Structure 1
Amino acid sequence: MIIYSAKKSNPKSFFLPDSLGQSMLEVIVASGIIVTAVSAALTLVQSSINGAKVSEEQIVAYNLAREGVEVARIIRDSNWLAGRDFDDGLWGPPLDYIGQPVFDSATKEWSIFFASSDWVNDGTRVYRQVAPIGTARPGMYFQAPIQPDGTEVTRFRRRLYLHRLCSTVVGSDENYIASYAQNDGLDCNPGDDKIGVEVNSYVRWDKADGTFNEIQLVEQLFDWR
C-alpha cells in the first residue's frame, strides 16, 4: 500500500505582507497628490501665459489706436505750416471720411488711404516688419495698401473715422455756438462752417473663438492755432 502525504499550505503565503500593501497604498496616494499639484501648477502657468499674451495684445492695440489719432494731428499741423486748409488730406472725395494711416518710408510722411471702406479689406490690415528693409526695422507695425516686403500679417486691423465737426448758431442768441459731427458722406448743413475733425481710431484683433476685440480712441481736432 502506498500512502501519500500532503503538506499543509500557509494561506498567508498567497497574499502580500501587510507592510508592503500599506506602502503601495501610500505611494498611490502620494502620486495622486503630486499629479494634482503639478496639474494645478501647469494650469496656473498656462493662465499666466495667456494673461500676459492678452496684456501684450492690448498694449499693441492701444498704441496703434493712439498712433492713428496722432497721424491725423500731424497732418493737420503740417497743413498749417504749409499754408493749406487744415483738413487737407483728412478726407477723400467725395466726402469719404473712413481710411487707414499709411507711412511712406521714402518721403518720411504720413497720409491717409481712403480707398478701403470695409474691415475685411486688406488695406485695414496691420503688418509687422520681420526683416530690415530700408528704414524699416524688425518689430515695427504699420499699414499699407498692399503687404510690403519683409513683413508678416498680424491679427490687428485699424481704421480711422474722420467725422466733420461743424458749428451752428443755436436759438436767437448768435453768441451761442454749438458743434456737431457729420457721418461719412455728409457735409456740414447749409450755412454752417467746418471747424474741425472728430478722429475715431479703431483697432480690432481676432480671437481664437472667431470673434474679435476692439479698442476705440476719440479725439476732436479743431482749426484753432
Structure 2
Amino acid sequence: MEVVVALGVVLFVLISIVALVLINSFGQKGSENRTIALNLAREGIEVFRNMRDTAKLQKSGIPNFSSESHYYYLVFSASTNSWIINTSDVSWTNTRLYLIPYNPLGVPPTFPIYVPTVASNVYTNFQRRITVDSICSDVTKCSIGTAGVCEASETDNCVVANVSNYVGYRIKSEVQWLENNQTVNLELVDFLYDWR
C-alpha cells in the first residue's frame, strides 16, 4: 500500500514537471515569435523614415505614394545594400518572408536577414505588409478619414488634385504569423510629417 502511494506521488511530480517544461517551451516560442514580429514591423517603418531623412539630407526629391495602391512590401537588395519598395494588392500575397544569409563585408560572420523573395529554401511563418495613407493638411478635405488621414477612395482630395493638401504619411507596418494553428497579427503605426 505504501509503495502504491509513493509511486503515485512520484508519478504526480513527474507529470507536473513535464507539464511545466511544455508550458514554458510554448511560452518561450511565443515570446520569440512576438519579438521577431515586432522587430520586422519596426524595420518596415524605419525604411520609410530613412528614405525621408536621406532625401532631406541629400536635398533630393522624395517619392510620393499613391493613395490608390497604398499597400507595399519591402525587398532588400543585397547587391546595392538598399531597400526597394514594391506595391502589393490588398491580400497578403508577396509578403511571405524568407531567410537568406547576408554578409556585407565578405568575411565571417554571416547574418540571416528576412526578405520577401524566394531566394532560399528557408521560408518562415512571417509575412509583412506596409500600408501608406496620406495625412491631409486640412481635415475637412478628408471627411471620411479619421484624424486627418485620407482614405484610399479619396484620391482627388489629398494627393492627386493638389499636392499641397497633404503634409505627410501614416505608415502602418503589419506582421502576420502562424502560431499554434492560429494567425497572430501585430501592427505598428507611425506618422511621418514634413514629406516634401
Letter aligned with residue 168 of structure 1: D
Deviation at 1:79, TM superposition (A): 2.3
**Gap change, CA 1:77 and 1:95, over 3 Å in 2:** farther
Higher Rg: 1
Partner of 1:98: 71
Structure 1 residues 85 and 182: CA distance shift in structure 2, 3 A: farther
Please report how far the alpha carbon of residue 61 of structure 1 lies from its aligned counterpart in structure 2 after TM superposition: 0.6
* Alpha-carbon spacing, 1:169–1:65, altered in 2? closer, same or farther (3 Å): closer
| Percentage of matched positions with identical amino acids | 28
- 1:158 corresponds in structure 2 to 128
The residue number in structure 2 matching 1:180 is 148
- Say which of 22, 31, 43 aligns to 1:55: 31
Structure with bigger RCO (C-alpha 8 Å, 6+ apart): 2
- The match for 2:194 is 223
CA gap 1:61/1:50 in 2 versus in 1, 3 angstroms: same
Q: Which residue of 2 aligns with 1:193?
A: 165
Q: Which residue of 2 aligns with 1:43?
A: 19
Give deviations 1:43-97, integer Å, cap 9, x for gaps.
01110111111111111010111111100101112222343433x1x625x8311
Letter in 1 for 2:152: D
Unaligned runs of 5+ in 2: 141-146
Asked if the contact 2:69/2:87 (under 8 Å) is kept, the reply is: yes
Aligned-partner SS, 2:180? coil
Structure 1, unaligned stretches of length 5 or more?
1-24, 171-178
Once the two structures are TM-superposed, the CA of residue 128 in structure 1 deviates from its matched residue by 1.9
Indicate how the Cα distance of structure 1 residues 169 and 60 shifts in structure 2: closer, same or farther if over 3 A, else same: closer
- TM value normalised by structure 1: 0.72
Say if 2:65 and 2:132, in contact at 8 Å, map to a contact too.
yes
